[in-house]
Amino acid sequence: MSGGEPLLEVDGLEVTYQKGDLSHVALQDMSLQVRAGEILGIVGESGCGKSTLSAAVMRLLAANGAITAGSIRLKGQELRSLQPAQLRQIRGREIAMIFQDPLTSLNPTFRIGTQLVDAQKAHMSRRSRRGLDRELRRRAIDMLTQVGIPDAQERVDHFPHEFSGGMRQRIMIALALLLEPALLIADEPTSALDVTLQAQILELLSRLRTERGTAIMFISHDLGVVSQLCDRVVVMYAGQPVEEGDVASVFERPLHPYTQALLGAIPSRKRRGAALVTIPGRVPSLADLPQGCRFADRCQFVQDVNRGAAPRYVGVDGRRVRCNIYDPESGYRPAAAVQESIS
Where on the chain is the footprint of other proteins (CB under 8 A)? Answer: 45-46, 164, 166-167, 194-200, 202-203, 221-228, 247-248, 251-252, 261-269, 271-272, 275-279, 282
Shorter beta-carbon distance to other proteins: residue 224 or 315: 224
Q: How far is the CB of 276 from other proteins (least distance, A)?
A: 4
Name the amino acid, one letter, at 77: Q
Q: How far is the CB of 227 from other proteins (least distance, A)?
A: 5
Q: How far is the CB of 230 from other proteins (least distance, A)?
A: 9
Q: How far is the CB of 174 from other proteins (least distance, A)?
A: 17
* Among 201, 200, 197, 231, residue whose Cα is nearest residue 217: 231
Shorter beta-carbon distance to other proteins: residue 128 or 268: 268
Shorter beta-carbon distance to other proteins: residue 11 or 222: 222
Q: How far is the CB of 222 from other proteins (least distance, A)?
A: 7
Shorter beta-carbon distance to other proteins: residue 19 or 271: 271
Shorter beta-carbon distance to other proteins: residue 66 or 265: 265
DSSP, collapsed to helix, strand or coil, labels residue 284 as: coil
Q: What are phi and psi of 70, to 5 degrees?
A: 90, -175
Cβ atoms of residues 18 and 5 within 8 Å: no
DSSP labels for 68-95? EEEEEEETTEESTT--HHHHHHHBTTTE
Strand duo 319-322 + 313-316: pairing? antiparallel
Shorter beta-carbon distance to other proteins: residue 61 or 247: 247
Q: How far is the CB of 51 from other proteins (least distance, A)?
A: 14
Q: How far is the CB of 159 from other proteins (least distance, A)?
A: 18
The DSSP output letter for 106 is S
The rounded Cα 73 to chain-centroid distance in angstroms is 16
Shorter beta-carbon distance to other proteins: residue 70 or 241: 241
Residues 6+ apart with CB under 8 A from 195: none
Q: How far is the CB of 266 from other proteins (least distance, A)?
A: 6
Element (H, E) at 24: strand 22-35
Shorter beta-carbon distance to other proteins: residue 37 or 70: 37
Cβ atoms of residues 35 and 5 within 8 Å: yes
Residues 6+ apart with CB under 8 A from 230: 39, 40, 41, 218, 247
| Dihedral-angle region of residue 273 (phi above 0 means left; psi in -120 to 50 means alpha; beta otherwise) | left
Residues 6+ apart with CB under 8 A from 18: 64, 65, 66
The whole-angstrom separation of Cα 255 and Cα 244 is 9
Sign, CA dihedral 325-329-335-339, equals positive
Q: How far is the CB of 157 from other proteins (least distance, A)?
A: 20
Shorter beta-carbon distance to other proteins: residue 37 or 166: 166
